[in-house]
Amino acid sequence: MKRLMFTLVCAATAAVAGAQQVGGGAITLKVPKNAGAVTFSHDSHVAGAGLKCPACHTKLFINQAKHVGETMATMQQGRSCGACHDGKTAFGVADRAACANCHAPAERR
């Protein structure tokens, strides 16, 4: 019964996610206009970095409301992307040389 409930919850979550794929796909995040668009790539994190889904779900990103309103300052405090992008586990969110890793350059905005 628990397995059936888990399967149903997963299916419902996938249906709500719409075009987002489980284990893949890209998500465009809302950022201030002057910051440059950010597109989160599941592929680069799952296939590229070798992460498994539980590394972020359900600890950091339970649902869309969980990370709404995050700023560079809150990420530097270890929230959201900053939990791993701390300069040790992965490049840091405070590393100015790494901005283009996440933010689109001005000519691509």
Kindly report, residue by residue over 69-89, the tens digit of the pLDDT: 678 898 999 988 999 999 999
Cβ-in-10-Å burial (0-12, 13-18, 19+) of 28 comes to exposed
The string over 65-91, giving b where at least 16 C-beta atoms fall within 10 Å of a residue's C-beta and e elsewhere, is: eebeebeeeebeeebbbbbbbbeeebb
Q: What global pTM score does this model have?
A: 0.67
Per-residue pLDDT tens over the stretch 21-66: 455 688 888 787 788 888 888 888 988 899 888 888 877 776 666 5
Domains along the chain with CATH numbers = 21-108 (3.90.10.10)
- Round to whole Å and give the CA distance between 49 and 55: 11
Peptide bond into 89 cis (omega under 30): no
